[in-house]
Amino acid sequence: MQETGSISIHTENIFPIIKKFLYSDHEIFLRELVSNAVDATQKLKSLAQLGEYKGELGELKVRVTVDKEARKITISDHGLGMTGEEIKKYINQIAFSGATEFVEQYKEKDAATKDQIIGQFGLGFYSAFMVASEVEIFSQSYKEGTEAAHWTCDGSTSFTLETTEKAERGTDVVLHVADDSDEFLEEARLRGILTKYCKFLPIPIEFEGQVINDTNPIWTKQPSELTDEDYKKFYQELYPMSMDEPLFWIHLNVDYPFNLTGILYFPKVKDELQFSRNKIQLYSRQVFITDEVKDVVPEFLMLLHGVIDSPDIPLNVSRSFLQADAAVRKINTYITKKVADKLSSLFKQDRAGYEEKWGDIGLFVKYGMLSDEKFYDKGKDFVLLKNVDGKLFTINEYTEHIQANQQDKNGNTVVLYTNDAEHQHSFVAAAQERGYDVLNFDQVLDPHFVGQLEQKLEKTSFKRVDADTLSKLIEKDDATESVLSEDDQKKLEETFTTAIANPAMHVKVAALSPQDAPVVITQNEFMRRMKDMQRTGGGGGMQMFGAFPESYDVTVNANHPLVSKVLADGGDTLAKQAFDLALLSQGMLKGEALTAFVKRSTELLG
């Protein structure tokens, strides 16, 4: 008996709209149809376990075949199957229960509206019409005494439904591939799609006689069942082109207040902070959904690799877009906490091993602290600060290490740091000669990290080693008497000011150690930071004041023998030479000024 009918929608043909707007990536038709077949198979297994199905299960697998000459793709399962009435219910009615609303939304071509649609329409099966001119269903229900059914639709709102003969329980979906979809008749293309989306489905997927999936990936197992080698092997399976092993990993497994499993791997993080945004793969019940997980995972965790699987992450009807809601925020918070807990555990249990890995994970930890306040609260106990001698400290350890020796006149602890130890070597050496410690902050995020620490730590300031603060500390600690009278110091200041002839250079004379450089050029820390912020587009409303002017402090060492010669010489040639030497030591002497310095040096040596 044959029945014909019309899918009950009250507007124009829905299929072109599905094809054009809903599923922009046509290849996912195979994901949808295979997923449906897997669902039907799993449901039958559940019924058997509950004793509601007592027949033979047989070989439970999903088969995908392609007949290029006949232009057919067939997806077959050995699952529940459907009666004719069930086909009418599930394929014709439920799928289009919201079709009128759907069409009204989509014909306006509003992408924002599209992304807000949660899968209430049940349209996964109809993705077949993106690549097929006609679709047939042959199905035999598991229920005893039922007849097999044959459903046919050519992509219009009309269908035919008739009884047929089918030897085995289950469903065959046959796609008659359209003329504009020849690519999907190629075995290699179909294999690639199945490998991408179905690689870890829980029911065996057979394509052209070969099972292409791992039905029990390690994230579905308990950590107690797995070895380090299992985790490393799976990492290579996920990222076959990776040359490095992961540093360590986190096994996620929670079932309340949401379901979430997965494994996150810590790779070596390069200093350039390159984001590999497609390195974490999102699955829903072992079906690959997307590798764009920015709404599920905090941005700083995008540096990690691995797999997250959750049926509770809301997707739109095409599963192509994540929907940010309370469940996603909870998952986001949970993952952040698990990562922080893992790092804290590694630090506490194996400090030496943690320090060995610090060069590869330090940037990640700092980025997390900058990005997430809760991560900062935990990270402050396991972030490490490295000094120029290579020794590592926690924040508290370092504060205690320098507190007694590095304080300004107001009793604030002064943290000295370099962002280029080689370039600022003379300043680092001067600080170390006084027993000061100098931190190495030379990573791309360190300017921001320094600012955060300064904001968070009480009575603590951070000063770059070539800032004027070091000179002040040296002056305070040395408390050296000047060998020059006040009149000579004033004369010396005038001589250098005239010789330099640059209003951006502010000359002062100070009584430093005779072993110190004759001239030291420093920059006000606040002004330097403001200029750095302006160069990188920061500084907020300060942009309205225009560019900050160049401004340097030139400290002339009254106790250096060369300075005494400048005073005795009475001219500005030697003063200019001493100043240029200071510029040269900091890489600030260039172009015409460098040429003049070389010529003057030759004349002075002659």
Residue 515 has pLDDT above 50, yes or no: yes
Q: What pLDDT was estimated at residue 109?
A: 45
Q: Rounded to 5 degrees, what angle do the CA atoms 261, 267, 268 make?
A: 160
Q: Are residues 556 and 447 in the same domain?
A: no
Q: What pLDDT was estimated at residue 277?
A: 56
Of the segments 44-53, 87-96, 585-594, which one has the largest average pLDDT value? Answer: 44-53
Distance CA 395, CA 566 (A): 45
Q: Are residues 31 and 94 in the same domain?
A: yes
* pLDDT per residue as tens digits for the range 295-329: 778 888 888 999 999 887 766 545 555 556 677 78
Q: Rounded to 5 degrees, what angle do the CA atoms 293, 294, 296 make?
A: 65
Q: Are residues 485 and 405 in the same domain?
A: no
Looking at the chain, the whole-number percentage of residues with pLDDT higher than 90 is 38
Tell me the mean pLDDT in the region 416-445: 88
Residue 544 has pLDDT above 50, yes or no: no
Residue 413 within any structural domain of the chain: yes
Residue 356 within any structural domain of the chain: no
- Summary mean pLDDT of the chain: 82
Distance CA 75, CA 35 (A): 10
Distance CA 120, CA 64 (A): 27
Residue 375 within any structural domain of the chain: no
List the domain range (segments joined by +) for residue 578: 480-606
Domain boundary among 457, 477, 497: 477
Q: Are residues 325 and 399 in the same domain?
A: no
Which range, of 82-96, 222-236, 361-375, 381-395, averages the lowest pLDDT? 82-96
Which range, of 20-24, 337-341, 518-522, averages the lowest pLDDT? 20-24
Q: Are residues 138 and 232 in the same domain?
A: no
Q: Are residues 443 and 585 in the same domain?
A: no
Task: For 200-225, give one letter per residue: b (16+ CB within 10 A) or e.
Answer: bbbbbbbbeeeebbbeebbbeeeeee
CB-based contacts of 187, cutoff 8 Å, min separation 6: 66, 208
Residue 429 within any structural domain of the chain: yes
CATH of the domain at 601: 1.20.120.790
By the 8 A CB rule, do 137 and 90 touch?
A: no
pLDDT confidence band for 246 (50 / 70 / 90): very high
Residue 84 within any structural domain of the chain: yes
Q: Are residues 397 and 491 in the same domain?
A: no
Residue 12 has pLDDT above 80, yes or no: no
Q: Residue 260 is which amino acid?
A: L
Residue 15 within any structural domain of the chain: yes
Distances (CA, A) of 430 to 311, 425, 433: 60, 9, 5
The model's pTM is: 0.76
Q: Is the peptide bond prior to 257 cis by the omega test (within 30 degrees of 0)? A: yes
Domain boundary among 158, 192, 211: 211
Residue 118 has pLDDT above 50, yes or no: no
* pLDDT per residue as tens digits for the range 561-583: 888 888 887 678 888 888 888 88
Looking at the chain, the whole-number percentage of residues with pLDDT higher than 70 is 81
CATH of the domain at 414: 3.40.50.11260
Q: What pLDDT was estimated at residue 191?
A: 97
Distance CA 221, CA 215 (A): 11
* Count of residues making up the chain: 606
Q: Are residues 30 and 132 in the same domain?
A: yes
Distance CA 418, CA 107 (A): 60
Q: What pLDDT was estimated at residue 478?
A: 52
* pLDDT per residue as tens digits for the range 251-302: 999 887 888 999 999 988 765 555 555 589 988 889 888 887 877 788 888 8
Residue 83 within any structural domain of the chain: yes
Tell me how many domains the chain contains.
4
Q: What pLDDT was estimated at residue 159?
A: 86
Residue 594 within any structural domain of the chain: yes
Q: Are residues 316 and 423 in the same domain?
A: no
Q: Which neighbouring-strand residues pair with 504?
A: none
Q: What pLDDT was estimated at residue 546?
A: 44
* pLDDT per residue as tens digits for the range 127-170: 888 899 999 999 999 999 999 999 998 877 788 999 999 999 99
Residue 114 has pLDDT above 90, yes or no: no
Residue 192 has pLDDT above 70, yes or no: yes
Two tokens, residue 26: 């046509």
Domain boundary among 211, 228, 259: 211
Q: Are residues 256 and 283 in the same domain?
A: yes
By the 8 A CB rule, do 64 and 190 touch?
A: yes
* Residue of 356, 353, 345 whose CA lies nearest to 390: 356
